[in-house]
Amino acid sequence: MKNEKVINDRMRDNGNKQKIVFELHLKPSTNNRYGTVRIHFSWDDKQKKVIVGWIGRHLYLPSKNP
C-alpha cells in the first residue's frame, strides 16, 4: 500500500493500545441493503490469534482513473 489515505483508513487499534494497519480482508458473499461487508484482520504472532480491526463498509479505495 502506497496511498496515505488507504493506509490511514486501515490503521486501527489492535486491542493492545497499538495502532497497526489491517491490510488483509475477507469479502463474504453475503449482500445486504448497505452493500457487501468487509472484514479486515491481522495475525498477532505473539498471541497466536487473529485480530479483527474492522467489519463494515468498504474502506477508502482511490479511483483507478487518474
Q: What is the pLDDT of residues 15-46, one digit of tens each?
A: 989 999 999 999 887 666 767 789 999 999 99
Q: What mean pLDDT, rounded, does the chain reach?
A: 87
pLDDT of residue 31: 67
Q: In angstroms, rounded to a whole number, what is the distance separating the alpha carbons of residues 23 and 28?
A: 16
- Report the chain's C-alpha Rg in angstroms: 13
For the chain, where are the alpha helices, taking DSSP H only?
Answer: 4-10
Residue of 63, 51, 61 lying closest to 21 (CA atoms): 51
- Residue ranges per structural domain of the chain: 4-56
Residue-level pLDDT at 57: 84
Task: Please give the C-alpha separations between residue 19 and each of 16, 23, 50, 64, in angstroms, as whole numbers.
Answer: 9, 13, 15, 28
User: Which pTM does this prediction carry?
Assistant: 0.77
Residue 45: predicted pLDDT: 93
